[in-house]
Amino acid sequence: MEFHTDFKPLTVQPQEIEEKSFEIITEELGEHSFTADQYPVVQRVIHASADFELGRSLVFHPRAIEAGVAAIRAGKILVADVQMVQVGISKPRIEQFGGDVKVYISDPDVIEEAKRLNTTRAIISIRKAIQEAEGGIFAIGNAPTALLELIRLIKEGVAKPGLIVGVPVGFVSAAESKEELAKLDVPFITNIGRKGGSPVAVAAVNALSIMAARKE
């Protein structure tokens, strides 16, 4: 492979860009009521969205950070609702603890079962996930139906996730699904309103895995 290197490249270091971005975020965010443990998640979500309103809309269960860090350190499975979330999550920090990042939505048995029941693949993928990823982190950035199904299975006593990162985006059921999540007394990270999405779920998980890799 021959590259065009006959002109001066832009010399930019990704690490420097991130540090500079984090400085700007802290400065522009100003006062907030997040704890020191929660703040790295907020910061990384704003970094991924350039949206302070979205950052400020985050809501944390009191045990969320502790539970997320513990799940990662225990090598629990991380379940992504869609492939965009799966590929965005930094794998090495999950794998160093023996964990893995899985997505079930395109599994042949999930597709078949969704057709049979005339429902969404997202819902069926959650049913599969709760069996394979007990105590794991569920990162839901897209499908409100997946989050609603997970909430229902928790209420039924069938699902016992370590942490739910529930930040689906959208106009139909997204905000409502997050309101339901925020009522549960299980570790969750969510946000108020329609906004959210894959980069938000990814940013939250990556912030947690950085904490897991650092903290004592």
Q: What is the binding site for a copy of itself (CB under 8 A)?
A: 1-5, 7, 9-14, 17, 20-21, 24-25, 47-51, 83-84, 86-88, 109, 113, 117-120, 123-124, 127-128, 130-131, 145, 148-149, 152-153, 156, 158, 169-174, 193-199, 202
Name which of 39 and 74 has its Cβ closer to a copy of itself. 39
CB of 106 to a copy of itself, least distance (A): 10
CB of 41 to a copy of itself, least distance (A): 17
Is residue 196 within 8 Å of 204, Cβ to Cβ? no
Distance CA 28, CA 196 (A): 20
CB of 155 to a copy of itself, least distance (A): 11
Name which of 171 and 185 has its Cβ closer to a copy of itself. 171
Instruction: Give burial (CB, 10 Å; 0-12/13-18/19+) of 28.
Output: exposed
Residue 16, amino acid = E
Residue 53, amino acid = E
- DSSP strands (E only) in the chain: 58-60, 78-80, 101-103, 137-140, 163-166, 188-191
Task: Give catalytic status of residue 47 as yes or no.
Answer: yes
CB of 1 to a copy of itself, least distance (A): 4
Name which of 98 and 158 has its Cβ closer to a copy of itself. 158
Q: Using alpha carbons, select from 38, 45, 47, 40 the residue that is nearest to residue 18.
A: 47
Name which of 171 and 216 has its Cβ closer to a copy of itself. 171
> Active-site residue numbers?
47
